[in-house]
Structure formats: structure tokens, C-alpha cells
Chains A and B, each alone.
Chain A
Amino acid sequence: MRYIMMTVMLTLSGYASAHQWMPTYPELRPSYVAGVLTTKMELFNSRNDVKYYEILVYDKDFNPMRFATQEKIVEVGYLKRKNIDVYIREEDRDKITYICSKSKLLKGTGSVTRVSSRICSKIK
């Protein structure tokens, strides 16, 4: 019952002004390129004040790590969902810990104090 309530709540809350990044614990798998691993992430944007998100990859201490995606700044429209393939080098497999998405706020728009959201998934 609790989970049903939570699901309903999260579904409804998604229409307020929210940012979702899934899964929580992505799994790396071999890509079509030798020596490169990949994982698929899903971004859902229900922030009507945000149109662009940045994809970031970090080690356990939040130092930036090298990675590749089709676009590092992704345009995701309001109430749109986007699947993003993230590619990392196999030699970095043990170092890479977090794959994050961060909202990009446009300068000079919106109200006085704005909220920048970042959600980080952890590679297990």
C-alpha cells in the first residue's frame, strides 16, 4: 500500500517541477567498440524552467572523469523523456563511481533565487 501511495505521489509530483535520472545503480556492459563500456540512462524533465541538462561522470571523490555521450549538454523539453548512452573506457571501470545529470540554468531568466538540481547514480 505504501509503495502504491509513493508511486502515485511520485507520478503526480513529476508534474510540479522535477528532475528524474534513472536508474539508481546502472550497470556497465561492453559496447560495440572494444575496450569501451556503456550504460543507458534515462532523464525525465518536468522542470518547465529548465531545457538543458549536462551529463557528468565522476570518481568516488567527485573528480571529473573522461567519458563520451552523443551530447554532453542534452536538450530535453518539458515533460519529455530522453535515453542517454554513456560510454567510458574499460580501464576506468574501477575509478568511475557516479554518473550525474545537472540542470543548466539560463542566465538572466526566471526569478531571483533559482535552484540548480543534480542527480547522481552510482555504479555498483
Chain B
Amino acid sequence: MFKKSLAIAATLIGMNAVAEEVTITGTVASKCVVVTDTVGIYGNPTPSELSTATADGGVEPIVRFDVLQASFYKARITYPISFSESPALTDVVNWTGNVSVAEVTDASMSAYDTSKIEFDNVTEVDLTVAGSTWFKVESTADYGATKAFPAGTYRAVVSADCIAL
């Protein structure tokens, strides 16, 4: 009799354990995620030029902005106008660059290329559509036709800001 009671009790306890629930909670909130998709590489097509263009042997850096809700953020992307690290340079470097939309998850985001605001080396885009947008950044450093960049490592920084509106 005691053995039977013990067995029933053990079974009941066992059933309770099986019925235990684990909760998973999550929150969906407005947010912006800045993703470094591709880091860039400067190609050296001529002695006086460093360029991220594919035709020049470079790789264009690509930054992705993910926004969960439309019109909550703007993207501000800055192409470099100086090296963060380089050998000693004795002359001025002329910088050019451009920021453009590379890929989108929503067709209406392609309008970002026409609605973007550009000043100095800065491009601002109001992220008016929820989803992901990939921006590619072109950067060229020109040392002048008669000059050659000295040998060494050159590094530059692209800034990608996501600012709440």
C-alpha cells in the first residue's frame, strides 16, 4: 500500500515537472541599427591616387542602416577627408567622395538617392521607410599628378551616424 502511494506521488511530481513552462519575452521597439557590412580597401591605380573604386582595385565600404519604424531616424554618412593613419605627407591631399544607395529591402527606399542632402563631405538621408538600406561610400585621395604617395599603410574612417528625428 505504501509502495503504491509512493509511486503515485512520484508520478504526480514527475507530471508537474513536465508541465513546467518557460517564458520567453521580447519587445519590439523603435530602434536604429548601424551595421558595418563591408569594410573598404583603397586601391592604388596610379602612384598619386588611392581609390575605393572597384575599377581601381579597391573595395567600397558599405554600411547598412536598419530601422524598425519609418521616419524615426535620419542617416548621416561622412566620407573621409583625411587619413587616420599614413606615412608623413609633405603636400596637400585632395579628397573626393560620394555616398549612394547600394541595396534596399523596400523599393520605395530607392528615392533616398534623390532626396538625400549633401554638404561638404556629409550626406544626410531621412529614413522614411521601415527596413534596411545599404549605403556604399566612394572615396578617392589624390596627391597631385607629379607626386607619388610614399610607401606605407593608409587608413581612413567613414562615419555612419543614425540620429533620432
Contact = CB atoms under 8 A, between A and B. Distances in A.
Contacts of A108: 85, 155
14 contacts: A10-B33, A10-B66, A13-B33, A24-B31, A105-B157, A112-B40, A112-B156, A113-B155, A114-B155, A115-B160, A116-B157, A117-B162, A118-B159, A119-B34
A10 B84 CA distance: 31
Contacts, number: 135
Contacts of A107: 84-85
Given A119-B161, A122-B164, A113 B35 contact: no
**Majority secondary structure of chain B interface residues (helix, strand, loop or mixed):** strand
Interface residues of A, number: 37
A88 to B, nearest CB: 17
**Majority secondary structure of chain A interface residues (helix, strand, loop or mixed):** mixed
Contacts of A18: 33-36, 66
Contacts of B39: 49, 110-115
Contacts of A120: 161-164
A3 B154 CA distance: 42
